[in-house]
């Protein structure tokens, strides 16, 4: 895969030089990747992008031309550049599997290693995880609105550049899309490709009927006709029926039609009636045109007769929520494997980080439904023999006692001492895993509008550690202020 070593912000490199010059090269750190709020005002997000992170880490290498370019900036020392020439990631990475439903503040990736190395990973990891997680989440919403009707991803032409088109198609497949129109994504990630027909094809012939017939001759077993170039009900559907019946008479299966404008409910219902009356009951109706989860939900609620959906712009650009605010924050620092928890204070309570080396524990009830997640310290054990009272870390009086539960730890080892220890699943396996995981959540959490907030609490031990550190920092600041006054 591609070498993305230089895909970073300049300040990562200047800080790395700073660590190098100030004798902190062997200082170790633990960084957490997490986001603070869910996109789309939704109830969950779907993790995606880990495979690209793995590729990025495995291909880390400053090439001669990179070193020459950095030297030309005249801000880096020769001995530091020499160190970069030998750069390798030698640390540990833990991450949640792609396709896992995730929630705010959960450390979805944890990087542990020399700060000199871990610093370089920040920008690329965030770039990869933020985008794919966002699109997988959007796709999951669109797919959920579509119910049983498959969703084809049609977004490449509107994506924010080629990378977004290709990685967006990958993420959309994780989120449950059945196929993509993007051929490069299909080739690269083994995503099923599918497509229908363009308006230009129909415009190129002297009549719509002629255009349909020519297409049917070329693709007799894969013939889905676009019916809205002139008038869907007066010309497109009647012509499609003629060609569909001709195909069926020749022993082929006529696939159906696509409607790409107008009132999709009215047109699809009328088209269904006409197709059925002609005996083409197996022909499907595909709907497209600026669709997103809300329009699909509404069109279905109106009783439309649409069997499959083509969704482009809104999905690939995540139009109503164009970024995920994933961050990479230092949670501990140390040396020789001994770590001290660290936190970042903020006036904004939501921006105070969670200190220490942490894990995510998901609690399921006996029926297999997810009840709550607890962010805990790495060495904590939760016995399913005892009940556990968890509490909201902000509104601490909000408590819930869990009993008869089963737990699952979400972070998986991905790298140990710089070596990959994780077998990357296929994209289809990720999609299937994701569907199963989503099935373990209550519909109330997955509801598109005003979902129920899934519980994510801190363990008592982590909560206490955070309070102690906050108090310690507060006291130190007060002490310094008093000394300055004296």
Ligand X SMILES: O=C(O)c1cccnc1
Ligand Y SMILES: Nc1ncnc2c1ncn2[C@@H]1O[C@H](COP(=O)(O)OP(=O)(O)OP(=O)(O)O)[C@@H](O)[C@H]1O
Q: Is residue 309 part of the contact set for ligand PRP (CB under 6 A)?
A: no
Q: CA torsion, points 71, 73, 77, 82, in degrees to nearest 10?
A: -30
Tell me whether residue 108 or residue 271 sits nearer to ligand X (CB atom): 271
Q: What is the DSSP letter of 233?
A: I
Quick one: what does residue 195 bind among ligand Y, ligand X, ligand PRP, none, with the CB cut-off 5 to 8 Å set by partner type? Answer: ligand X
Rounded-to-integer distance, Cα 353 and Cα 129, Å:
19
Q: Which residues, numbered 284-323, are part of the site for ligand X (CB under 6 A)?
A: 310, 312
**Which residue's CB comes closest to ligand X?**
195
Rounded-to-integer distance, Cα 31 and Cα 97, Å:
18
Binding window for ligand PRP (CB under 6 A); candidates: 40-48, 151-159, 217-225, 414-422: 151-159
In this structure, what token pair is assigned to residue 138?
């959007």
Rounded-to-integer distance, Cα 203 and Cα 257, Å:
17
**Residues 132, 137, 142, 144: is their CA dihedral positive or negative?**
positive
Q: What is the DSSP letter of 261?
A: S
Binding window for ligand PRP (CB under 6 A); candidates: 207-215, 305-313, 347-355, 403-411: 305-313
310, 355, 393, 451: which one binds ligand PRP (CB under 6 A): 310
Q: Is residue 457 part of the contact set for ligand PRP (CB under 6 A)?
A: no
Quick one: what does residue 299 bind among ligand X, ligand Y, ligand PRP, none, with the CB cut-off 5 to 8 Å set by partner type? Answer: ligand Y
- The answer to whether 363 and 407 are in contact (CB under 8 A) is yes
Beta pairing partners, 389: 401
| Per-residue contact flags (x/-) with ligand X for residues 170 to 209, judged by CB under 6 A | -----------x-------------xx-------------
**Residues 128, 134, 135, 140: is their CA dihedral positive or negative?**
positive
Q: How many residues does the chain have?
A: 486
Q: How many C-beta atoms lie closer than 10 Å to residue 102's C-beta?
A: 25
* Chain mean position to CA 413: 20
Tell me whether residue 293 or residue 373 sits nearer to ligand PRP (CB atom): 293
Number of helices (H) and strands (E), helices first, in the chain? 16, 21
37, 207, 302, 467: which one binds ligand Y (CB under 6 A): 302
Q: Which residues, numbered 229-288, are part of the site for ligand Y (CB under 6 A)?
A: 261-265
Tell me whether residue 130 or residue 181 sits nearer to ligand X (CB atom): 181
Quick one: what does residue 158 bind among ligand PRP, ligand Y, ligand X, none, with the CB cut-off 5 to 8 Å set by partner type? Answer: ligand PRP
In this structure, what token pair is assigned to residue 44?
């969950």
Least distance (Å) from ligand Y to the CB of residue 264? 4
**Coil, helix or strand at residue 380:** coil
- Unique residue bearing structure tokens 């603070």: 36
Binding window for ligand PRP (CB under 6 A); candidates: 265-273, 285-293, 339-347, 392-400: 285-293
Alpha helices (runs of H) in 43-100, residue ranges in sequence order:
50-58, 64-72, 78-85
Q: Which residues, numbered 152-171, are part of the site for ligand X (CB under 6 A)?
A: 154
Tell me whether residue 195 or residue 418 sits nearer to ligand X (CB atom): 195
Rounded-to-integer distance, Cα 216 and Cα 285, Å:
17
Tell me whether residue 47 or residue 225 sits nearer to ligand X (CB atom): 225
| Per-residue contact flags (x/-) with ligand PRP for residues 231 to 270, judged by CB under 6 A | -----------------------------x----------
289, 313, 321, 407: which one binds ligand Y (CB under 6 A): 289
- The answer to whether 154 and 178 are in contact (CB under 8 A) is no
In this structure, what token pair is assigned to residue 166?
């290709």
For 298-355, strand residue ranges (E) read 308-311, 327-335, 338-341
113, 312, 355, 451: which one binds ligand PRP (CB under 6 A): 312
Q: Is residue 290 part of the contact set for ligand PRP (CB under 6 A)?
A: yes
Under the rule (CB under 6 A), what is the footprint of ligand Y? 261-265, 289-291, 295, 298-299, 302
Under the rule (CB under 6 A), what is the footprint of ligand PRP? 154, 157-158, 260, 288-291, 310-314
């Amino acid at each position: 895969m591609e070498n993305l070593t230089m895909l970073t912000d300049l300040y990562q490199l200047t800080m790395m030089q700073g660590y190098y010059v100030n004798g902190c090269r062997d200082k170790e750190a633990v960084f957490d990747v997490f986001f603070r709020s869910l996109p789309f005002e939704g109830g969950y997000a779907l993790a995606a992008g880990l495979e690209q992170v793995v590729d990025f880490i495995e291909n880390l290498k400053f090439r001669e031309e990179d070193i020459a370019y950095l030297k030309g900036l005249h801000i880096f020392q020769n001995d530091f550049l020499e160190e970069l020439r030998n750069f390798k990631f030698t640390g540990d990475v833990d991450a949640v599997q792609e396709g896992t439903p995730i929630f705010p503040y959960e450390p979805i990736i944890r990087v542990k290693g020399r700060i000199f190395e871990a610093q370089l990973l920040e920008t690329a990891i965030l770039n990869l995880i933020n985008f794919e997680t966002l699109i997988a989440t959007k796709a999951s919403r669109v797919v959920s609105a579509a119910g049983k009707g498959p969703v084809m991803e049609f977004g490449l032409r509107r994506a924010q550049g080629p990378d977004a088109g290709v990685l967006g198609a990958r993420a959309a497949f994780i989120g449950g899309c059945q196929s993509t129109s993007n051929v490069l994504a299909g080739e690269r990630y083994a995503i099923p490709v599918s497509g229908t027909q363009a308006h230009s094809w129909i415009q190129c012939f002297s009549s719509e009927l002629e255009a349909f017939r020519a297409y049917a001759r070329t693709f007799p077993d894969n013939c889905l006709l676009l019916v809205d170039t002139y008038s869907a009900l007066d010309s497109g559907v009647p012509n499609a029926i003629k060609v569909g019946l001709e195909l069926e008479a020749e022993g082929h299966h006529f696939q159906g039609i696509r409607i790409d404008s107008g009132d999709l409910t009215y047109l699809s219902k009328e088209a269904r009636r006409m197709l059925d009356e002609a005996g083409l009951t197996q022909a499907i109706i595909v709907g497209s045109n600026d669709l997103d989860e809300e329009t699909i939900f509404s069109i279905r609620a109106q009783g439309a007769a649409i069997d499959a959906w083509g969704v482009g712009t809104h999905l690939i650009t995540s139009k109503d929520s164009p970024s995920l605010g994933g961050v990479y924050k230092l949670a501990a620092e140390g040396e020789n494997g001994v770590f001290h928890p660290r936190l970042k204070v903020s006036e904004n309570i939501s921006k105070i980080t969670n200190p220490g080396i942490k894990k995510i524990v998901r609690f399921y009830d006996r029926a297999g439904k997810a009840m709550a997640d607890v962010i805990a310290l790495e060495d904590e054990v939760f016995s399913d023999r005892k009940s556990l009272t968890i509490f909201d870390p902000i509104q601490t009086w909000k408590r819930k006692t869990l009993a008869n539960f089963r737990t699952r730890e979400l972070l998986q080892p991905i790298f140990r001492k710089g070596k990959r220890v994780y077998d990357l699943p296929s994209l289809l396996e990720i999609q299937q895993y994701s569907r199963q995981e989503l099935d373990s959540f209550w519909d109330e959490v997955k509801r598109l509008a005003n979902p129920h907030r899934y519980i994510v609490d801190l363990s008592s031990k982590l909560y206490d550690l955070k309070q102690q550190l906050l108090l310690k920092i507060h006291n130190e600041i007060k002490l310094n202020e008093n000394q300055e006054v004296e």
